[in-house]
A and B are shown apart, each in its own frame.
Chain A
């Protein structure tokens, strides 16, 4: 597959670039996840009028103490103290590597070992189709040995059924949780797994229906095209003929759909206020009670990766993707404007970061729902609302 305007690539080049894209996307995730855990500590702290993580070692001695010492040497309350606690993610990862890996005697060994990997792979595989930038991100300069002159696309796999791929792969992730809960052979994980199954089955319905509304508007499943169409910009084919452009009124179903999707996304990623599967004060730690070390880390990573997936999908479909303005409002900015009118990688990443902040913000604000309330929210409110939203989108699409 070759981008238009570039020479046909050899098989080696194609494979190499695909590998590099995978590495780039994975690096993006694995950089963002530790930063999110750090941000979670700090933001939760600030929300509760605390300071969050401010030190990695209490004390003024030794290697880590030197950090504290230097900060405090600058004055009684140093300006840079915002950055203190930044080594926390590194300490986290080191701790998880060094810890003893325990498999319970009565556990179903094979399933117990597979489960975290399944969740992790499912959440990471989604990034293959997420479009970080439409078209070519950059071209390798000619002095690069094999890849000189080859384009590096902003999407790892620009497939036509991207959205379908995302929803189907993302729903595999729940198997990891259910299997992990079952294989642990213990009460609390089993309860957590069962709850997770029930909750995710319930929320999958309004989630998919809220994703269907943008698809109805745009008539496409390709995430790159969806991002452009749902930003309100016209999609042209190669000859410059208009294929699709959404009606200005479509901003209304997009706006409603965004909130439905976000609510369901919270439930899908098991975040507060929907963190039934791991409700700490009821189920110890829920499905990962028996997990330790890197297996636990996989579940932990998968939760944060899923948050990034939900943020990326929400920003692609509802917040204008790589364009500046959300909800199909990008049409008010002419495409000829230098920065504001053109797609930008930073807009996309910025929206992801903002949505991650919203995840933490909501966690710091709302208490956990009761189990029956969660089900009521899904079936009594979100499902009808998303159906109405879908109907509205279809009405606007076919009436005008």
Chain B
């Protein structure tokens, strides 16, 4: 008897409908009206994607307290790089004890974002930042030089999330990447 009742009254279907109905109401009534939205997908291009702190994005040169490049051209990163993506030309600067890079070429088309260079660096001079929107229309845009590496954004100008300030883009295209 119980078995036939189970067939006649589709309780499982009702359970499923109740579940999805509950989720529908939850999202429908609160969609985009809460600081922490209930829906599980992100609205990526408009809302910046949340990244984990250990995310390895594009290489970036860091500066020290004086505002100079912290890199002393020890070539540790160049040596450890498995794909030879980094080339450094060392030079001198007036009033600075250590060497300073004259060129720091980072060829991102070859970079595998392994992070070995950051681990090898003893001077906290480089990091892989959280920039991941690295698509470009031209291959040359992926070869980054000193002028590109110390400010946060050159590649990634085609991202719509965070519009690159027009001045930065203009300056970069004038000077060229190298």
- Quick one: CB contact mask for B10-32 with A, threshold 8 Å, 1 for yes? 00010011011101101110011
With A49-B40, A365-B16 known, 15 other A-B pairs at CB within 8 A are A45-B39, A46-B24, A47-B21, A48-B23, A49-B38, A49-B39, A49-B41, A54-B43, A60-B160, A68-B46, A77-B33, A77-B37, A361-B21, A365-B13, A381-B8
Q: How far is the CB of A2 from chain B (nearest CB, A)?
A: 47
Interface size on B, residues (CB 8 A): 27
Q: Is A34 an interface residue (CB 8 A)?
A: no
Q: Is A78 an interface residue (CB 8 A)?
A: yes
Say if the beta carbon of B167 comes within 8 Å of chain A.
no
Q: Which residues of chain B are within 8 angstroms of A77 by Cβ–Cβ distance? A: 32-33, 37, 47
Give Cα A277–Cα B26 distance, bound, in whole angstroms: 33
Q: Chain A residues near B32 (CB, 8 Å)?
A: 51, 77-79, 81-82
Complex Cα spacing A366 to B33, Å: 29
Q: Count CB-based A-B contacts (< 8 Å).
A: 70
B33 cross-chain contacts in A, Cβ below 8 A: 77, 79
Given known pairs A58-B160, A76-B47, A381-B7, the reply for A47 and B16 (CB within 8 Å) is no
Q: Is B45 an interface residue (CB 8 A)?
A: yes
Interface residues of B (CB under 8 A from A): 7-8, 13, 16-17, 19-21, 23-24, 26-28, 31-33, 37-41, 43, 45-47, 160, 163
Find the A residue at minimum CB distance from B19: A365
Complex Cα distance, B7 from A385, in Å, reads: 11
By a CB distance below 8 angstroms, the chain B residues around A76 are: 47
- Per-residue interface assignment for chain A, residues 39 to 76, with 1 indicating a CB less than 8 Å from any chain B CB and 0 otherwise: 00001011111110010001110000000100010001
Most buried by A among B24, B33, B39, B160: B24
Which among A46, A58, A72, A361 is the interface contact of B27 at CB below 8 angstroms?
A46
Question: Could you tell me the distance between the alpha carbons of A50 and B39 in the complex, rounded to whole angstroms?
Answer: 5
Show 14 A/B contacts (Cβ-Cβ < 8 Å), sorted by A: A45-B39, A47-B20, A49-B27, A50-B41, A51-B27, A51-B41, A54-B43, A59-B160, A60-B163, A76-B47, A81-B32, A361-B20, A361-B24, A381-B8
